[in-house]
Each structure stands twice: as C-alpha cells, then as structure tokens.
Amino acid sequence: MARRWRPGWRAAAATLACLALTACGEKRGTPPVSSTTPLRTLAARRGIAIGAPTGSTFQRTDAAGDSLRAILAREFDMVWSGNWLKFSVVHPAPTTYDFSWADSMVAFAQAHQMTVRGHTFVWHNQIPSWLTGGSWTPAQVDSILAGHIATLMAHFKGKIRIWDVVNEAVDDNAQRRTTFWSTALGPGYIERAFRLARAADSTALLFYNDYNIEGTSAKADTVYALLADLKSRGVPVDGVGMQGHFIVGQLPSGASLAANFARFAALGLKIEITELDIRMSVPATAADLAVQALDYRTIVGACLQTPACDAVELSAVYDGDSWVPGTFPGQGAANLFDESFHPKPAYTALSNLLSGK
C-alpha cells in the first residue's frame, strides 16, 4: 500500500506544529520531531501500520488541536475511532444516528492517506439508556443490533475496512462476561454479531477485541477457545485485537507474547495491538520513562516478529488526552508524547526499533 506524503504536506505540518507550541518561539518552522523519520514511514518499511485515535483534542481550534492534528498526520498511517463510534455516541436515540465526529475523522484520514479502524458494535460499556432501560424481547434486541451494524457499515462502506465487532466478551476471571447482550440474546450473540457484520459488508475485516490477552494467561486461553470454536464453525472472524493496556515494568515476557501470538495466528487470525498504553505513577520519573521505552519495544517487537501481526494502534497520541488518569487515579504518562506534545523516550525507542536499531 502506498503511504506517501503529499508534496508540501510535511512542511505544512511542521509549521502547524511549531505555531501550535509556545516552546517553538525561537525555532519557528521546526516541528517537535523534525529530525526523525516519521513512525508511519518506518512502520510501513517493516510491513505494519501504526495508528492512534483522533481523540477529543482533534476537534479543538486552539494550539493543542493544531499540534495534535500535525502529529497525527505526520506520524500515523491509521486512525481508530476512539469514542466516536461507540453505541451511545453514534446511536443516541432509537432512530437517531450521529456520524458527525466519525465523519470528520474519516475525512482527515482520507486527506492524509490513513486507514481507519471502527470501534465497536457490541460492548457492555457506553451503550445508551434507551437500549439498556427498555423492555425488549430477544427478537427486538436482535433487530436493533442488526439495524445498528447494517447502518454503520453502510455509512462507512469502503471507508472503514476494519471493525471491532465484539469487544471484551470475557471478564477478568476468564469467564464469558454477563452483559446486556448476553442476557438479551443468549451466548450465541457473538456469532450473531459477526454474521450480521459479514452480511452488511462482505469485504470488511472483522475483529474480536479484548484486554489482558497479549501474553499467555487464563483469560487469553478463554479468548483463544472462543475464537477457535468460532473459526471451526465458519463464523467470519478475521482477526483478534489485543488492547495492550499495560503497567510499566509489568509486561508479559517476550517469550509469552510470542507464544500467544503464534497460537492465535495459527487459527488463521490477523493480530493487531489496538489500544496500546503503558501507564505509571505520576508524576513520571526518568527511571519509569526509561522502563516504559523498553516496554514499548517489547510489545511492538513481538508484533514485528509475528507475520500475522499487521498493526499497532495507540490508545492516545499524547498524555494530555488519555483515558488512563480518569480510570486509574494517580496513573498516567502512558503514551509516546507528553502533555506538551514532546516525544518521550518511548517515542525514540519505537523509532529505533522500527529502524532496525
């Protein structure tokens, strides 16, 4: 796939980035990471895509918005939809769909030659109260799900080619999670969602996505068994997304990652790291940032060593627009760029890894 810069874009992005940074005063014209080859260029040479969400900063008209957009376009060749295609955001009332956020993300992606990953049809979180609070028959919930999937996939046909069809169907005890969907539709809801998605768009890549399944573990075993069963019965699952929400210094070993990736690949599945972040106590110490850099190398290295692994997506571009501090109090600094959009040691580590250093 050609991933080329449009003539003049790099200079424009550099100017944008600089104008957006107060620290750029004396160095006007210099983007934060101008001396390095963009990650997307390096990743493409290694045969993988590198992605990030547009996030909430994307829509801002201030300097932070300019910086975010410049970094996104320069460094990444893939975006994923973050919150913008979750059920409660995109389908806020029974007959209302709001594609405004996702449409602007797709337009940006097209302008900058980026592929797009859609997230997510079936999840237990961020589903609207009109759905969870209703008293529906199973047939009605099935019909709502079918309409939801068909409407989204039709709207983005040819624009979003990769979808997280089912997200986090296994709980932290390695059991199938009891959710609105499983309660309403029974255990067959996962198969049903994949079959509905295939019927809605025969060319899209359909993923199961979950966290804490990167290395070998009880939860990874359960997800492996689930996907092995679906594949054995011809259910259209094309890939497994491993979210990659890690704590600094606590990644599975390289051997554990490699063994786990290999067994999923042997099912004929693509593998993507879908929401990578490596959090730490804040304020961050130099020591933790150095370990984080090694950790980013470990997980992305495991992807590079697995032919079936074709993409790594980050959960946020920068520490100023991350879900981590709100969900894990006292934790943060989980991303490649800091709150001022400066690249951290993890950025350099990834750049070096992708460069073969």
168 in active site: yes
Please tell me which residue in 75, 214, 272, 275 is annotated as part of the active site.
Answer: 275
Least Å distance between CB 168 and ligand XIL? Answer: 6
Cβ neighbour number for residue 194 with a 10 Å cutoff: 24
- Taking residues 114 to 153 in sequence order and writing x for each that binds ligand XIL by CB under 6 A, - otherwise, the string is ----------------------------------------
Residues 53-92 that bind ligand XIL (CB under 6 A): 83
Residues 26-45 that bind ligand XIL (CB under 6 A): none
Please tell me which residue in 75, 168, 214, 272 is annotated as part of the active site.
Answer: 168
Question: Which of the 8 DSSP states describes residue 337?
Answer: B
Closest to ligand XIL by CB, 54 vs 167, is: 167
Closest to ligand XIL by CB, 52 vs 349, is: 52
Residue 243 makes contact with ligand XIL by CB under 6 A: yes
Closest to ligand XIL by CB, 41 vs 167, is: 167
Least Å distance between CB 268 and ligand XIL? Answer: 24
Among 19, 323, 352, 355, binds ligand XIL (CB under 6 A): 323
Q: Which residue has the tokens 């951290």?
A: 344
Residues in the chain: 357
Closest to ligand XIL by CB, 36 vs 274, is: 274
Indicate if the alpha-carbon torsion angle 321, 324, 327, 330 is positive or negative: negative
Closest to ligand XIL by CB, 238 vs 275, is: 275
Those residues whose C-beta lies under 8 Å from the C-beta of residue 321, and which sit 6 or more positions away, are: 55, 56, 57, 68
Is the Cβ–Cβ distance between 68 and 57 less than 8 Å?
yes
Least Å distance between CB 167 and ligand XIL? Answer: 5
Which residue sits closest to ligand XIL, CB atoms considered? 323
Question: Which of the 8 DSSP states describes residue 342?
Answer: P
Residue 226 backbone class (left: φ over 0; alpha: ψ -120 to 50; beta: rest): alpha
Helix axes 63-75, 9-20, angle to 10 degrees: 150
One-letter amino acid for residue 277 of the chain: D
339 in active site: no
Residue 221 backbone class (left: φ over 0; alpha: ψ -120 to 50; beta: rest): alpha
Least Å distance between CB 113 and ligand XIL? Answer: 25
For residues 157 and 23, what is the distance between their CA atoms, to the nearest angstrom? 42
So which residues are the catalytic ones? Answer: 168, 275
User: Which stretches of the chain bind ligand XIL, using CB under 6 A?
Assistant: 83, 167, 243, 275, 323
